[in-house]
Amino acid sequence: MIFKDFADEIDDLTGWDPALSSIPRSTDSPITEGKSLVDKMNPEEMAHEIEKIANAAERNELMSVRPKSAMADGFWDIGSPFASALRLLVANLRNKEALSFIDPFDDTYVLMKPSFSSMIKHPICKRDIVAALIGDGNEGGDGKLPLEGLCSWNMWRGMDLLQAMDLVFLNNLAYNGKEKTKDRSTTNKLRRSLWDGINGVISEHFGSDIEQRRRCMPTRRGETSGFVVRK
């Protein structure tokens, strides 16, 4: 119950009230019965939960919820850098232009095109990332994404978290192709914002130190990468 108690403390400090959210609480709908905690959350509720973890990271209070399998061992894993990585996720969850990336891609009505999972090697969404971090909401998640191919990643490691966020955008770009559309433009805009945020954090800590910047920079893949698409 440590994480739940901590969350209640943060709510008291910030004065946040779920009832005031501009997005209706998804838990009010009967269709959410039997779903997990994260499945019942709307984007604002997910953002609020991740913000709590970011606040804890800044105060170095994550030891009680971070799984032993993902102990901090890099720049992005502790304190302010990890909090910054989490807040990039928070900003994306609250961005109305990014709502289509919250849940799994639905290709039910896509005609004359292969299914998303037949083209995309690791089909993940933002809800998967949030679920990996908050688990059942009591003591935090184990950090694992629901894909065997990404079993080496853990969302409690900042580098993995940032690459997972980028992969969500890359998957969309790879599936929809290079035709100039509003969707592609929006996706590229969101991806640029993510990388601007990453570069901003690195610059704040290391300035122009090329070696340190290189060491802390997540892998920036392309949409045609064999890591992204099935070839």
Give the integer Cα–Cα distance in Å for 153 and 163: 9
Question: Phi/psi of residue 25, each to 5°?
Answer: -70, 125
Query: One digit per residue, pLDDT tens: the chain, 231 residues?
Result: 334 444 444 344 434 443 333 333 333 333 334 467 888 999 999 999 999 999 999 998 888 778 888 888 899 998 999 999 999 999 999 999 999 999 998 877 677 788 898 999 999 999 999 999 998 765 679 999 999 999 999 999 999 999 999 999 999 999 999 999 999 999 999 999 999 999 999 999 999 899 999 999 999 999 999 999 998
The structure tokens listed for 32 are 């959410």
Give the integer Cα–Cα distance in Å for 152 and 149: 8
DSSP secondary structure code for residue 120 in this structure: B
Handedness of CA 73, 76, 81, 87 (dihedral sign): negative
Model confidence pLDDT, tens digit, residues 9-62:
434 443 444 333 333 333 333 333 446 788 899 999 999 999 999 999 999 888
